Amino acid sequence: EDKVVQSPLSLVVHEGDTVTLNCSYEVTNFRSLLWYKQEKKAPTFLFMLTSSGIEKKSGRLSSILDKKELFSILNITATQTGDSAVYLCAVPGSARQLTFGSGTQLTVLP
């Protein structure tokens, strides 16, 4: 059975801090790992990672995948209150469905 575990479950930081969110996975025939950001609405796509060791960046957000150790991290530098959201990690499983982790609730205080 495919499995995605995210940690921590929740995180509270102050503006300007740097945070690291973790995602570990177990899946048959790995193809990709996806990160989503969910504010008070639908999840929006952030990154897709397919190759180990290659960092994807978008502004203050970056993510990297370790296929040997079966995990990914999402880094956010110089956090802002607008970064407050639930961050979801997902992997496509053997039946081509996405298996989601339970998410990390990030709260950034002013």
Asked if residue 101 binds other proteins (CB under 8 A), the reply is yes
Is residue 11 close enough to count as binding other proteins by CB under 8 A? Answer: no
DSSP string, the chain: --EEEEE-SEEEEETT--EEEEEEEE-SS---EEEEEESSSS-EEEEEE-STTPPEEETTEEEEEETTTTEEEEEE-S--GGG-EEEEEEEE-TTS-EEE---EEEEEE-
Least CB distance to other proteins at residue 78 (A) = 27
Q: Determine which residue in the list 11, 70, 75, 92 makes contact with other proteins, applying CB under 8 A.
A: 92
Closest separation in Å from C-beta 16 to other proteins: 29
Q: Print the binding letters for residues 31-70 with other proteins: x by CB under 8 A, - otherwise.
A: xx-x------xxxxx--x-x--------------------
CB-CB contact of 47 with 73 (8 Å):
no
Q: Which residues bind other proteins (CB under 8 A)?
A: 9, 31-32, 34, 41-45, 48, 50, 88, 90, 92, 95-98, 100-103
